[in-house]
Amino acid sequence: MKKSFQDIIFPTTKSLETGLKEFRFFYNHIRPHQHLNYLTPNEALKNKPIENSKTHEALYFNALCGNIAGFYFLE
């Protein structure tokens, strides 16, 4: 992932802020962390995993020129 981020250019401060906001969302809500027993930080903070069931709507998240992507489950 580091390699692909090296090629992204943010021409304005606003685009950089947007990119950082997208990455923070990905990091905290989509990407599971090994040291959190494969929970996202958001799940660990709430002390419960979001289970993939019919009660949760899954949304696909894609940002930063396709460098980060994954599913986000609405509660």
Nearest to 68 by CA among 23, 24, 13, 37: 23
* Calpha distance 54→33 (Å, rounded): 24
- Which pair of structure tokens corresponds to residue 38? 């494969």
- Indicate whether 11 pLDDT > 70: yes
Reduced to 3 states, what is the DSSP secondary structure of residue 58?
A: strand
Rounded to the nearest integer, the mean pLDDT of the chain is 81
Q: Are 40 and 9 in contact (CB under 8 A)?
A: no
4-8, 19-23, 67-71: which has the highest mean pLDDT?
A: 19-23
Q: Higher model confidence: residue 57 or residue 43?
A: 43
pTM of the model: 0.68
Tokens 């979001």 belong to residue: 50
Q: Higher model confidence: residue 57 or residue 49?
A: 57
**Amino acid in the structure at residue 2:** K
State the pLDDT at residue 72: 76
State the pLDDT at residue 14: 92
